[in-house]
């Protein structure tokens, strides 16, 4: 295989790795810059609705450049609006940056004089994926003005990458949505004696935990209708919808409503206690991200056990739950292995799986995490 082909395959491989491991985006950008003989490559997210221009991953720019771009210069980058207009036609575009603005227009811009010259972003090849009428993701590989301009070879390479880039963004959106939902579930652990439902920016239900599903199955007071959480009482339904949509708008970055609480009456049991809070997914790539969490406290229900929390939220197996509980009790790994009648090697293997599922890295960190699950008892 020719060296050029191997390099391109390595570049495509790094691109797909970025979908699974976000920190690998920088590896892809580094390879892209090296392949095009440049010192800088960036991946940028643009959201016109939220007025958010975010240089999200980068190779070659100092941290102050990222702060300046995100705070001001992303909003006045003269290439963005023509790029958005062009890319909207077919959903994507790739080519030379100077074809979007022209040298004269670019050199007369505040962006060039105060940012581009300072950080050496003049000649560039860009690729863009339009996610919605308001959002666009771009990858750019750039050189300073003093170096030769990028040419047809760079355009062709970006053209090879673009179908893969589009696929990776679809994959990444799905995975980031799952990650975002996981973060919502972690947040729910702070009040896990309550059932939890997550809704997106439009108030649609996107995630329910086991406790919430149990409440909904009882069909007493609460229900889901057309993907919206509602109440059997029309008055309470209107109040609940207003509360959810206000909190979700805050989570989506469109409002400042802090959420609130209310009671939902039931026929034969005490009212359900409802608390709605905004939830910030903090990621523009996520699709149906949770934007608000609805906690449902049933005063007539029993509190959850630690094992049920770990099993429901983090998918720990029974053996993983038992080991976690022994470690929380103060046993070291050897003693815990003896109590479980497994070898220390097997215990280490189980512990690694617990670390992976709970996003912890050390035993002390895991203990702090377990101790932070409030009002929970170990299974007897």
Mean per-residue pLDDT for 30-57?
A: 88
The contacts found for 82-90 with CB under 8 angstroms, 24 or more apart, are 83/126, 83/128, 83/136, 83/138, 84/46, 84/48, 84/128, 84/130, 84/136, 87/128, 87/129, 87/130, 87/136, 88/130, 88/133
Average pLDDT, the chain: 83
Q: Please indicate whether residue 259 or residue 220 has the higher confidence score (pLDDT).
A: 220
Beta strands in 35-90 (DSSP E): 40-47, 52-59
180-297 has which fold? Beta-Lactamase (3.30.450)
Q: Which of 109, 127, 122, 25 is nearest to 73 (CA)?
A: 109
Greatest pairwise CA separation for the chain in angstroms = 78
Q: DSSP secondary-structure letter at 150?
A: P
Q: What is the mean pLDDT of residues 113-136?
A: 91
pLDDT of residue 373: 59
Class of domain 306-371: mainly alpha
- The residue-averaged pLDDT of 153-170 equals 88
Which of the residue ranges 91-95, 149-153, 177-181, 326-330 would you say has the lowest mean pLDDT?
177-181
pLDDT at 180: 64
Residue 123 has φ and ψ, to the nearest 5°, of -80, 130
Residue 227 has pLDDT above 60, yes or no: yes
Tens of pLDDT, residues 229-286: 999 999 999 999 999 999 888 877 777 787 888 999 998 889 998 988 877 654 444 4
Query: Is the predicted pLDDT of residue 7 greater than 90, yes or no?
Result: no
Choose the weakest-confidence range: 50-59, 108-117, 217-226.
50-59
CATH number of this structure's domain 3-178: 3.30.450.80
pLDDT score, position 152: 93
Average pLDDT on 48-59 reads: 82
Q: For residues 33 and 19, what is the distance between their CA atoms, to the nearest angstrom?
A: 19
CATH 1.10.10.10 in the chain, residue ranges: 306-371
For the segment 322-350, the average pLDDT, to the nearest whole number, is 90
Element (H, E) at 128: strand 123-130
Torsion angles phi and psi, residue 350, rounded to 5: -65, -40
Q: Is residue 301 classed as helix, strand or coil in its secondary structure?
A: coil
Q: Is 170 exposed, middle or buried (0-12, 13-18, 19+ CB in 10 A)?
A: middle
Residue 272 and residue 298 in contact, taking contact as beta carbons nearer than 8 Å: yes
pLDDT at 282 (0 to 100)? 46
| Total-model pTM | 0.52
């Amino acid at each position: 295989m020719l060296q050029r082909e191997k390099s391109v395959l390595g570049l495509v491989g790094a691109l797909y790795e970025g979908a699974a491991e976000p920190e690998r985006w920088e590896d892809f950008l580094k390879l892209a810059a090296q392949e095009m003989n440049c010192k800088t490559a960036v991946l940028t997210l643009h959201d016109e609705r939220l007025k958010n221009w975010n240089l999200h991953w980068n190779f070659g720019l100092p941290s102050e450049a990222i702060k300046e771009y995100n705070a001001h210069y992303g909003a006045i980058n003269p290439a963005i609006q023509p790029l958005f207009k062009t890319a909207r036609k077919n959903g994507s575009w790739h080519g030379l940056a100077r074809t979007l603005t022209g040298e004269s227009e670019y050199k007369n811009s505040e962006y060039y004089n105060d940012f581009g010259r300072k950080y050496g972003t003049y000649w560039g090849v860009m690729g863009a994926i339009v996610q919605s009428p308001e959002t666009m993701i771009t990858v750019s590989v750039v050189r300073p003005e003093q170096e030769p301009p990028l040419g047809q070879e760079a355009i062709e390479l970006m053209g090879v990458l673009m179908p893969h880039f589009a696929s990776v963004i679809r994959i990444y959106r799905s995975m980031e949505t799952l990650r975002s939902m996981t973060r919502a579930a972690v947040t729910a652990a702070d009040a896990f004696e309550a059932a939890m439902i997550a809704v997106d920016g439009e108030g649609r239900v996107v995630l329910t935990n086991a406790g919430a599903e149990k409440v909904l199955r009882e069909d007493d007071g609460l229900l889901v209708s057309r993907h919206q959480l509602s109440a059997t009482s029309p008055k309470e339904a209107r109040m609940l919808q207003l509360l959810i949509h206000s909190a979700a708008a805050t989570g989506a970055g469109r409002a400042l409503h802090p959420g609130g609480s209310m009671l939902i009456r039931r026929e034969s049991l005490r009212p359900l206690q409802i608390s709605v809070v905004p939830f910030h997914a903090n990621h523009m790539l996520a699709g149906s991200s949770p934007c608000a969490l609805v906690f449902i406290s049933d005063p007539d229900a029993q509190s959850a056990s630690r094992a049920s929390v770990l099993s429901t939220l983090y998918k720990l197996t029974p053996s993983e739950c038992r080991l976690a509980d022994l470690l929380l009790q103060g046993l070291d790994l050897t003693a815990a292995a003896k109590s479980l009648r497994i070898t220390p090697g097997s215990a280490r293997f189980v512990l690694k799986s617990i670390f992976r599922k709970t996003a912890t890295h050390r035993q002390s960190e895991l203990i702090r995490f377990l101790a932070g699950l409030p009002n929970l008892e170990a299974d007897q």
